[in-house]
Structure 1
C-alpha cells in the first residue's frame, strides 16, 4: 500500500507511508466498531434463543438496527459527573479502555501479508497492550469516589493480573512450538501440523490442554460470565461503571466487546490456524483467508455467549483459586513438558 501512494500517486516515501498507515488503521478500526455493534445484537439473540425468547426484533429488519438505536440513545443522554469525582481521570478512564481495546488489533494478521504491523514481537505487543486495559478500570473505580466502583476496580485488578500470569505461560508453550513471536509466523507453523493435514495447534495432544485453558482464561481476562465478578450486581450494583452515563458508559461497553472480539481472534490465531483453512488441502485455499479467520472468530464468540447464557457466576474465592492454584501450576508444568519434548525430538 505504501508503494501505491508513494510511487503511483507520486507522494514520496514518507508521505506515502504515513497515508498508507492511516488508511490501514481506518480499514481495521471502522469495520471493527461496526462488528462490535453487530455482535452485541448477536449476543442478545443467542441469549434469547437459549432462554426461549425472541430478543431484539423491532428496530430494523429482524432487529438488526437495535444496537444503533441503543447507541443513539446513550449519545443523546446527559453526561453526569459526580460532584466529588476526579473529573479528569473520570473522563479519561473510558477513553483509555476503548483505545486499548483497539490498538492490539494492529498485529492481528487477517490473511497472507494482511496485517497493519508485521513485527517480530507481535505476541509480546499484544500482551503489553491487553495488560493496559486494567488501568482504565482502576482509574474509573478510583475517580468515581464511590465505594462500590472502587471495590470493583480492586477486584478487576486482582482478576486480570491473576489470569495474565497463566496466559503468559500458556503462550510460552505456543512460542516454543512455533519458534517465533511473530503472529504470522505462528500461523504458518500450524500449516499441516497434525499428520501433515490438519492446520491447528489446538488438536496437538501436547497443546490441546493449553488451548482449553487459554479459552477459559480469555473469558476471565475480559470479565465475561462466569467470571464477571467486576460487575456482580448482587454486591457491587454495576461495578466500576456504576457512576457513568451517556457515551462514557457506552465506551466501556464498546471496549468490553472489543476485547472479547480480540480474545476470540487470539484463540483462532494461536491455536486454530488463523486464516488457514482447517485442512491443508489446495481447493480450500480458494476461499480467502480472511473468511476462514472471521468464521473461527464467530465460532469462539458463540462459545463465549453460550457460556454466559448457561454457566452460573463463580464466587470470587473460586475465581482466584482457579487462576492461582490450578491454571498457574498446570501452565508452568506444561512449559517444562513442551520444552523437554522439543529438546528430545526437534533439537536433539
Structure 2
C-alpha cells in the first residue's frame, strides 16, 4: 500500500512538472523573441535596420547574445559579499518566473487557480525590490549602493500606485481571484468605466519596472551594476528581459488584459482563449515599446514628484469614489 502511494505521488509530481514546463518553456521562448521584436520596433521608429545578421531576419540574435554573455570570464570583486553578489540577480530571476503560476490563460488553464492570486502576484512583485537593493549593497561600493537605493525608492513608490489601481478592481469585484475578475467582465470590460485608473496603472507599470521614461537603472548617474562582470550581468540581463521586458511586457501585459479587458469567450471558441489573450497582450507590449522610442528620461526628482504629488492623490480619490458609487446604487458585491 505504501509503495502504491509512493508511485502515485511520483506520478502526480511528474504531471505537475509537465504542467509547469508547458508554461515556462513557451514563456522563455517568448522572452527571447520579445527582445528581438522590441529591437526591431525601435529600429523602425528610429529609421534604421536593427539586428538582421544572425539567422533569417535576425531571428537568432537573442540566442547569440545570451551565448556571448555565458562564455565571458567570471570576475568577482575582492571586497564584495560573494554570496549576496550572486544571490541578488538569481532571486530576481526566480521571482519573475514564479509570477506565471497563477495566470489563467483560459477557462481552467492555470497552474494554480489561487483564491488570492492577486495578493500572490503583488507579493512577488514587491520581493523583486530586494534583488535591486542587494545588488548595490553586495558590491561594497558606495556608488553602486546609492544607485540601488534610488532605484529601490522609485520601485517602492510606484508599487503603491500599482497596488492602488488593483485595489480598485478588488473593490469592484469583491474577489482576489483572477478567474472571478475575468467572469465579472462578461458584460463590460473594466477599461471602459475605469479608463483613468487604467492610465495611472499603465504609468505605474512603466515606473515600477524601470522602463522609459523612468529607466533610471540604466542612466549613468543612477547605475548600480558597475561592479557586475558579464557572467553575473547575464542574470541582470535576464532580470531586465524577464522582469522589465518579459514580466513587464508579457506578465504585466497579461495582467492588464486580465484585469481591465478580458472575459471568457463562448464555449465554441474556448480553444482560442489563450490566442485572444496573447493578441491583447501584444498590443499592450507594443504601447510600451512605443513609449520607449518616443519619450525622454525623467530626472529622479521628477519621478518621485509625479508619484507622490500627482498620481497618489488621484489613486486615493478613486479608492474612495468607486466603493461609494457601488454602495450608493446598491450594486456592491459585498
Q: Please state which band the TM-score falls in when normalised by the shorter chain.
A: over 0.9
> Would the aligned equivalents of 2:118 and 2:178 in 1 still touch at CA under 8 Å?
yes
Distance 2:267 2:135 in 1: 50
Alignment partner of 1:266 out of 250, 255, 258: 255
Using the size of structure 1 for normalisation, the TM-score is 0.89
Is 1:170 paired with 2:157?
Answer: no
Using the size of structure 2 for normalisation, the TM-score is 0.92
Matching residue of 1:103:
98
What is the correspondence of 1:112-131 to structure 2 with a 5 Å cutoff? 112-131=107-126
Residue by residue, what CA displacement relative to the aligned partner does 1:267-318 show, whole Å, maximum 9, x if unpaired? Answer: 11111116x46xxx787x3661110111111111111111011100011111
> Would the aligned equivalents of 1:107 and 1:122 in 2 still touch at CA under 8 Å?
yes
Residue by residue, what CA displacement relative to the aligned partner does 1:47-98 show, whole Å, maximum 9, x if unpaired? Answer: 1000000101010000000000001100100111111111110011110011
Q: Indicate the SS of the match to 1:116.
A: coil
Alignment partner of 2:291 out of 307, 332, 343: 307
What is the correspondence of 1:285-304 to structure 2 with a 5 Å cutoff? 285=269, 288-304=272-288
Gaps of 5+ in 1: 1-5, 194-199
Is 1:257 paired with 2:244?
Answer: no
1:257 shift after superposition: 2.2
Gaps of 5+ in 2: none
Distance 2:37 2:283 in 1: 12
What RMSD in Å do the two structures reach over aligned CA positions? 1.9
Distance 1:29 1:287 in 2: 20
What is the correspondence of 1:150-299 to structure 2 with a 5 Å cutoff? 150-193=145-188, 200-204=189-193, 207-233=194-220, 235-236=221-222, 239-259=223-243, 260=248, 261-273=250-262, 276=264, 285=269, 288-299=272-283
Distance 2:205 2:117 in 1: 18
Distance 2:79 2:174 in 1: 52
Range 260-269 or range 96-105, more displaced? 260-269
Aligned residues: 324
Alignment partner of 2:75 out of 74, 80, 86: 80
